[in-house]
Structure 1
């Protein structure tokens, strides 16, 4: 599927980088995103090795890979950054990730630890040369113990990693949520099993509800916009998950 422009203004564009329609990509469906600001790129969760070629081709229509100066990883999983060694070869980018995971990510075949920028537990930010800014929002234990989301102030887009993930049958994932009540059934299983307790959801909601969020873009599943943003916050705030649902 072609790249989708989620937000565009002067010198600042937020892209969704499409998805596989060939049936060749294996594993869990995953979304990749790109911000281009003043000709400089920030790649968000570039994905595993199996999606590298598709992401590179789609991205190259909009920016020279050598202009990607930053990569953001929400956490350490291979579907988030398993292709990192290839991106190190194709770009000069620095990688922003929880400081917990830098030594772990070396196991992906990355040989230049100096290109990592560890995000402290309290979060951080990245400012483009234009002065526009993205924030790294703490989202620990959702589901990784070192986890961050990304908020783009210019677009109002909140990237939430695995939060908001929906697992549809292969090839049936819609790009945008159109029927929230129907969409819930594709989110319930993941959130109920992978989030340890609703307490961490409440801590996260206390942060993100202060932000002017216009759109939520998760790593898996469909994109939330318009009224589905508020519906999602209400839904996830009320779920039971992890230890609250298991008999241990």
Structure 2
């Protein structure tokens, strides 16, 4: 696998929200999107990915900022495609690591032993601060695939990083940065969400929460990004699906 070139999703004089690349390769991989938020002379990484993409992600980060200026690394949940590179990032940055307190005891299994770097998030979330007072909001997304799950809202770019919510399993020949037609894209999201989201109740709770935010782009950790009206289309679709325990008899083959 390799990583495509970075794309700046938002930019002004002091602030950037950057998609660090999309993984490319054959049909069998789990393709991930990594993101970097820059504010003045500081950077925050969002789900920077597994060990196998670390060299390319680091190279892409270095195009924008020296890694020692990365002050925060956010992990939405515990899956290895999200977090197995955590020890490598811990070694090349002095960043605080933000993740659910449910996953704190798993860090030694990823090779992270410096507990002083870890910010254990309670279920209600929190924020990631920059020196000038700007805060990225850490938004609960529990049981939306993971029992201890969080998303990030950037109030300047109005980009909402949704982790594994909104994921599309898209063949290489049809990958694009943005969803071009939600109706056509639904076939790439339905199977994942029906199986990996816990229940319709969890989905509705999540959608009710997100409807309080002004979102220009919904940026998941896999697949294409949703912008403008497609954000609402996706959230409306998500609030109506039956998934997880709603279809448990079907999952068990009964």
The verdict on a shared fold, with TM-score over 0.5 as the criterion, is: yes
Question: How much has 1:203 moved relative to structure 2?
Answer: 1.1
- The residue aligned with 1:190 is 192
Q: CA RMSD in A?
A: 1.5
The question of whether the paired residues in 2 share the 8 Å contact of 1:20 and 1:54 is answered with: no
Q: How does 1:1-248 map to 2 (within 5 A)?
A: 1-21=4-24, 23=25, 27-170=29-172, 172-247=174-249, 248=252
Deviations 1:188-236 (A, max 9, x none): 0100001110101111112111011111000010000011111111111
Alignment gaps of 5+ in structure 2: none
Change (3 A) 1:207 1:20: closer
Question: How much has 1:24 moved relative to structure 2?
Answer: 8.3
Distance, in Å, in 2 between the alignment partners of 1:25 and 1:185 is 16
Mean CA deviation greater in 165-174 or 52-61:
165-174
SS at match of 1:232: helix
Distance, in Å, in 1 between the alignment partners of 2:137 and 2:127 is 4
In the alignment of these two chains, the number of paired residues is 247
Change (3 A) 1:25 1:238: closer
Mean CA deviation greater in 238-247 or 64-73:
238-247
Distance, in Å, in 2 between the alignment partners of 1:184 and 1:203 is 21
Question: How much has 1:150 moved relative to structure 2?
Answer: 0.5
Change (3 A) 1:25 1:34: farther
Question: How much has 1:45 moved relative to structure 2?
Answer: 0.2
Question: How much has 1:25 moved relative to structure 2?
Answer: 11
SS at match of 2:33: coil
Distance, in Å, in 1 between the alignment partners of 2:55 and 2:231 is 31
Alignment gaps of 5+ in structure 1: none
The question of whether the paired residues in 1 share the 8 Å contact of 2:218 and 2:231 is answered with: yes
Distance, in Å, in 1 between the alignment partners of 2:235 and 2:172 is 26
Mean CA deviation greater in 101-110 or 91-100:
101-110
The question of whether the paired residues in 2 share the 8 Å contact of 1:25 and 1:51 is answered with: no
